[in-house]
Chain A
């Protein structure tokens, strides 16, 4: 338990000393996970919307698969991406292994199902409210999808947040495809894993606390946007 006290002290010290290495790791974590969240949203939201408004054979099967994929183990995703991006793999010629891009790819695969499945639920609920009015207005499928995505935008922010939370917290995928290379692919979680393996539990915990604070900050920012929107009844 002494570690806890040490960790808090160390965390404060790291933050207020403006440690350049720490800043680099934090920025890379944010860059990788925010990019992955953006890409996953671009892919996952349209999928969620189409499944939300679509009535097609096999829809239940799609729902089950989407929900199951939310539980993708990061290590498995990391391994699959590694096997594809490895020099001896089918996409090896791209030279992406051990780069931030590889980490973005892995995290995108990891959280796209989360974005798709959760947004499907949000959009289906909204569509239940709008469907009859939309049919009366004779809107096309595309117009319906666009309108739902726009009107659910603040709820979908929370969906994105769930994806971001999973991405920024996972270590299994990025450590395999990124390699935890210092000054190149080291992010908060792989740094925490490294310090743990070095037995420097206080530093590991300090980094963990900083990661938590960052996640808290992102959540607070989104929450304040949502609250502003709620005041205008846009949620």
Chain B
């Protein structure tokens, strides 16, 4: 199977043509809902390659941060700078896989087909994409009858169909069995190796260790620390991350 059919090589090629959107610089990002401040003066930089794991307890603002970066929400204050582009300008050059995959009420193949056609991609890539995520034999089955792991692989294939330069994943394996988790990680790792920038929210420590180049740790809407994986897992700098890793409650 060629990379062109899966659609990852063209992404790299296109990056050379159009103005790059990486690295990313986030400065003093604030998000408020009425009185509550849910993200508070977030600042960090992300380089052009690899996989960043976003971690932190429930309610720390991880999912909201992903939506802000992807341009699905507007911040109350602060800047998101994708190398000169605003977040809403680059939504189409990114893809987001949600925790609960939202699949169309159609067959497996039709879910991919729809996105390929809607985004003006080559419809002939459908089979290759399905094979790539191990769903080739289920192409004609109803998408909403897939198991949790299969559904998430389909969502991943759909995300890859858009040739993203950045792939956001919001706890995609939260409720999956170990085999499904590894299958997802393998597909994501493959995308990373082909040059797609991965930004991955997870609670799964093992997963974080397997995938991370760096870790962005959030607590109560703030960045507790942003550390290289090699430094984070042996000994986190922040008390919040240490408590989290030890299983202590830090809401």
> In this complex, what residue of B is CB-closest to A135?
B72
CB pair A137 B105 closer than 8 Å? no
A151 in contact with B106 given A135-B72, A136-B95, A232-B145 (CB within 8 Å): yes
> In this complex, what residue of B is CB-closest to A150?
B106
**Complex CA–CA separation, A10 to B109 (angstroms):** 53
Name 9 extra pairs, CB < 8 A, besides A130-B104, A151-B105, A234-B142: A130-B102, A132-B72, A132-B102, A136-B91, A136-B96, A137-B162, A140-B118, A232-B142, A232-B144
19 contacting pairs across A/B (C-beta < 8 A): A130-B102, A132-B72, A132-B98, A136-B70, A136-B91, A136-B95, A137-B95, A137-B118, A137-B119, A138-B91, A138-B119, A140-B118, A147-B104, A151-B105, A232-B144, A233-B142, A233-B143, A233-B145, A234-B105
The 9 closest A-B pairs by CB, nearest first: A233-B144, A232-B142, A133-B102, A138-B92, A234-B105, A151-B105, A136-B96, A143-B118, A233-B145
CB contacts under 8 Å to B, within A148-195, are: 150-151
> In this complex, what residue of A is CB-closest to B146?
A233
> A residues within 8 A CB of B176?
none
CB pair A139 B96 closer than 8 Å? no
> B residues within 8 A CB of A133?
98, 102
CB pair B102 A129 closer than 8 Å? yes
> B residues within 8 A CB of A132?
72, 98, 102
**Complex CA–CA separation, A129 to B102 (angstroms):** 7
**Complex CA–CA separation, A129 to B101 (angstroms):** 11
CB pair A147 B145 closer than 8 Å? no
Q: How far is the CB of B153 from chain A (nearest CB, A)?
A: 16
> A residues within 8 A CB of B91?
135-136, 138
User: Does B115 touch A at the CB level, under 8 Å?
Assistant: yes
**B115 in complex: contacting residue of A130, A137, A150, CB < 8 Å:** A137
Q: How far is the CB of B113 from chain A (nearest CB, A)?
A: 12
> In this complex, what residue of A is CB-closest to B91?
A138
**A151 in complex: contacting residue of B98, B104, B115, CB < 8 Å:** B104
Interface flags, B228-245, vs A, CB<8A=1, else 0: 000000000000000000
Range, interface on chain B: 20 to 34
**Complex CA–CA separation, A140 to B92 (angstroms):** 12
**Complex CA–CA separation, A131 to B246 (angstroms):** 38
> B residues within 8 A CB of A216?
none
**Complex CA–CA separation, A138 to B115 (angstroms):** 10
Interface residue SS majority, chain A: helix
> In this complex, what residue of B is CB-closest to A144?
B118
User: Does B82 touch A at the CB level, under 8 Å?
Assistant: no
**Complex CA–CA separation, A132 to B145 (angstroms):** 21
Q: How far is the CB of B167 from chain A (nearest CB, A)?
A: 11
Interface flags, B166-202, vs A, CB<8A=1, else 0: 0000000000000000000000000000000000000
> A residues within 8 A CB of B104?
130, 147, 151
**Complex CA–CA separation, A151 to B92 (angstroms):** 23
**Complex CA–CA separation, A150 to B142 (angstroms):** 15
User: Does A235 touch B at the CB level, under 8 Å?
Assistant: yes
**Complex CA–CA separation, A97 to B214 (angstroms):** 76
**Complex CA–CA separation, A108 to B104 (angstroms):** 31
> In this complex, what residue of B is CB-closest to A134?
B102
> B residues within 8 A CB of A130?
102, 104
A235 in contact with B102 given A136-B72, A139-B118 (CB within 8 Å): no
A233 in contact with B115 given A132-B98, A137-B162 (CB within 8 Å): no
**Complex CA–CA separation, A143 to B113 (angstroms):** 13
> B residues within 8 A CB of A135?
72, 91
> In this complex, what residue of B is CB-closest to A235?
B105
CB pair A147 B102 closer than 8 Å? no
> A residues within 8 A CB of B95?
136-137
**Complex CA–CA separation, A150 to B107 (angstroms):** 13
